[in-house]
């Protein structure tokens, strides 16, 4: 069974640009969550999507947005990039998203974003 | 606000030297506690889920335990390939509107020296 895939794996952008990252969940998984990982802050929750609806959002500015498609694939977008947005962006999928039961999240390899 | 604290931040062990990593948490109504392993430049790899105090799970040289306030990841006779950052995360109760998010600790970086 294929795992979570993320594209691209590496990105270099300059301040002010925007970027779109893509995530394909494990087949059959309907929940997709996004996290930002930095050395200082660790893993921080960005948002979670289930059946094309954003159900939860972390404490990040509106420059960070996302969406989910009918096939459960998800994208996240960061507009007006800042130097502090340099991080590893991780996508995780789970079967039901925790509705009524605990559901393990499985992570992709991440996209390393560098903002110059 | 949910809090997860892992200690120590870093741990160096000789090959074969057993030890434990700690994850203490404050969360109202824990639904699940998760352990992950992360290698440099890669995404976290799922290891265990613990649901209630007293529960234990094992996988090869790793054993995870859970109390009402903390979890331990015991590593028995570690090998160099066990070197990685170990992350702990908690899930609070589902609130109906969609509350499936994990709160992560900052991890323990384990180095096992041959």
What are the chain A neighbours of B99 within 8 Å (beta carbons)? 55-56, 98
Exposed/middle/buried for residue A106 (C-beta within 10 Å: 0-12, 13-18, 19+): buried
pLDDT in 10s for each residue of chain B, 114 residues: 668 999 999 999 999 999 999 999 998 778 889 999 999 989 999 999 998 899 999 999 999 999 999 999 999 999 999 999 999 999 876 655 555 678 899 999 999 999
Token pair for A19: 């970027």
* CB-CB under 8 Å, B36 with A106: no
What are the chain A neighbours of B51 within 8 Å (beta carbons)? 102
Sheet order of strands, A19-24 included? A5-7, A19-24, A74-78, A64-68
> pLDDT at position B31, please?
84
Size of interface A-B (CB pairs under 8 A): 76
Give me the half-sphere count of Cα atoms (radius 13 Å) on the Cβ side of residue A40: 4
Token pair for A27: 């087949």
> pLDDT at position B94, please?
60
> pLDDT at position A100, please?
59
> pLDDT at position A55, please?
86
Mean residue pLDDT across chain A:
93
Antiparallel, parallel or unpaired: β A10-13 and A111-115? parallel
Site from B102, B103, B107 to mutate, A interface, most A CB atoms within 10 angstroms: B102
Residue A40 has pLDDT above 80, yes or no: yes
Q: How confident is the model at residue A99 (pLDDT cuts 50, 70, 90)?
A: low
Flag whether residue B46 sits within 8 Å of chain A, measured between CB atoms: yes
Flag whether residue A107 sits within 8 Å of chain B, measured between CB atoms: yes
């Amino acid at each position: 069974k294929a795992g979570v895939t993320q594209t691209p794996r590496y990105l270099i952008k300059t301040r002010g640009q925007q970027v779109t990252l893509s995530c394909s969940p494990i087949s059959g998984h309907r929940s997709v969550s996004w996290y930002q990982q930095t050395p200082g802050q660790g893993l921080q929750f960005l948002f979670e999507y289930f059946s094309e609806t954003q159900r939860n959002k972390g404490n990040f500015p509106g420059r960070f947005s996302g969406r989910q498609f009918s096939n459960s694939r998800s994208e996240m977008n960061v507009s007006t990039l800042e130097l502090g947005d340099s991080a590893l962006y991780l996508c995780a999928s789970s079967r039901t998203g925790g509705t009524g039961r605990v559901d393990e999240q499985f992570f992709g390899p991440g996209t390393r974003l560098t903002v110059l | 606000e949910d809090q997860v604290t892992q200690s120590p931040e870093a741990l160096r062990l000789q090959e074969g030297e057993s030890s434990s990593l700690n994850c203490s948490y404050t969360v109202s109504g824990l639904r699940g506690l998760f352990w992950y392993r992360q290698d440099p430049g890669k995404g976290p790899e799922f290891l265990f889920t613990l649901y209630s105090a007293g529960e234990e799970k094992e996988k090869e040289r790793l054993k995870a335990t859970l109390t009402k306030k903390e979890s331990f990841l015991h590593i028995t006779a570690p090998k160099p390939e066990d070197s990685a950052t170990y992350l702990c995360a908690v899930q609070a109760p589902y609130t109906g509107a969609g509350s499936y998010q994990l709160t992560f600790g900052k991890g323990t970086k384990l180095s096992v020296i041959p």
